[in-house]
Amino acid sequence: VPASRSFIRLPGRCVRTAAGGLLRLGAALAATVLLHGTVGAADPAGTPADSTARGIARYREAVADSNPGELWEVRGEALWTERRGPRNVSLEGCDLGKGPGVVDGAYALLPRYFADVDRVMDLETRLLHCMMTLQGFTRAQALRRPFGAGALRSDFEALAAWIAGRSRGLEMDPPQVWPKEIEAYRLGRSLFFVRAGTHDFACHTCHGQSGRRIRLQELPDLLDPASVRAIYGSWPAYRVSQGEMRTLQWRMNDCFRQQRLPELVFGSDVSVALITFLAVNARGGIVDAPGVRR
């Protein structure tokens, strides 16, 4: 659960949002969220979450023609083609797995093994690799801002939104062919059960059962492929509560923060293994990114 949350209390009602999260949206959209995100009267268990889910669904409808995520997609496409970095080259030479510069359909096949680095990489780890090897950024330069915060925007979030969007409508089909691809899945599955830290939390603590919620947030059962298929394709996602585009690297990082563990390194083997575990469980699910989530 995010540490900082603000509550807007209305008579007999309670609306949860994050401070400033709605600032990016126009007043009309904000009103939509506030109205439909509002949870109902204090009666039976189960109702509030249903109501929240319905609210988000209505919000998605309301913004269907103007998903705020499009702002990130537009910037992501520009970042892909723009000549940047010490070498002043674009990312158009970046091989996302289907050959240099091929973006269409690439996301549906990630993570995958890349022979040039002898490693499995997810989209963001591959982008980091290309920023360093093609554009000449140092690791520290490229990772100056992996996750955006308001005006301080992340290039990864924009690039990931655009690239994932170029697989929209396709089925997730990350390969399990190379030994390291198979190994990454198995490592991801093992990591899922690791309990550690002050609170004894594992991924499994919150995501090992179906039909549970934390506060009002519904928790997907990530051991159930049907459940993973239903959500994986909506990442990267515009988070209404944060007013930000969020990626899977962010999701992994922030889950470990909430597990009270140290910080997960962007593009690390653990991050790639967990994303591989999810992506393979999501096989057959349709990419609908960038999505809209609470």
Partner 1 sequence: VSRRRPARACTAIAAVLAFAGAAGCTGPAPSASGAAPGAAAGAGTAAPAASGAAAAGLPDASLLAWMRESFVARGQAGLDRLDQDDTQRRCSMAAARGGLPPDEAESIRRDNQALLRIPTGPLAGSWTRGEAIAQNGVGRQFSDPPDVPSGGNCYACHRLSAQEIAFGTIGPSLHQYGRLRAGVPREILERETYGHIYDAQAYTACSLMPRFGARGILDDAQIRDLVALLLDPDSPVNRP
Contact positions vs partner 1 (CB under 8 A): 1-3, 5, 14, 16, 39, 42, 45, 47-48, 176-177, 179-183, 185-187, 189-202, 204-206, 208-217, 219, 221, 223-225, 256-258, 260-265, 268-271, 280-281, 283
* Minimum gap (Å) between residue 238 Cβ and partner 1: 22
Contact (Cβ atoms closer than 8 angstroms) between residue 203 and residue 263: no
- DSSP-based three-state secondary structure for 244: strand
* Minimum gap (Å) between residue 74 Cβ and partner 1: 30
Residue number with CB closer to partner 1 (54 or 87): 54
Residue number with CB closer to partner 1 (168 or 229): 229
* Minimum gap (Å) between residue 163 Cβ and partner 1: 23
Could you give phi then psi for residue 10, rounded to 5 degrees? -110, 160
The HSE-up count of residue 205 (CA atoms within 13 Å, CB side) is 14
Residue number with CB closer to partner 1 (101 or 197): 197
Tokens standing for residue 46: 């189960």
* Minimum gap (Å) between residue 212 Cβ and partner 1: 5
Which residues lie below 8 Å from residue 230, measured CB to CB, with a gap of 6+? 220, 285
Residue number with CB closer to partner 1 (72 or 256): 256
* Minimum gap (Å) between residue 189 Cβ and partner 1: 7
The one catalytic residue among 130, 203, 206, 255: 255
- DSSP-based three-state secondary structure for 146: coil
DSSP secondary structure letter of residue 170: P
| Rounded Cα gap, residues 240 and 293, in angstroms | 6
The residue written with tokens 């904000």 in the block is 30
Residue number with CB closer to partner 1 (92 or 183): 183
Question: What are the b/e assignments for 207-231, b being 16+ CB within 10 Å?
Answer: bbeeeeeeebbbbbbbbebebbbeb
Cα dihedral 92→157→232→6 (10° resolution):
-170
Task: Clarify whether 206 is annotated catalytic.
Answer: no
Q: Catalytic site residues?
A: 255
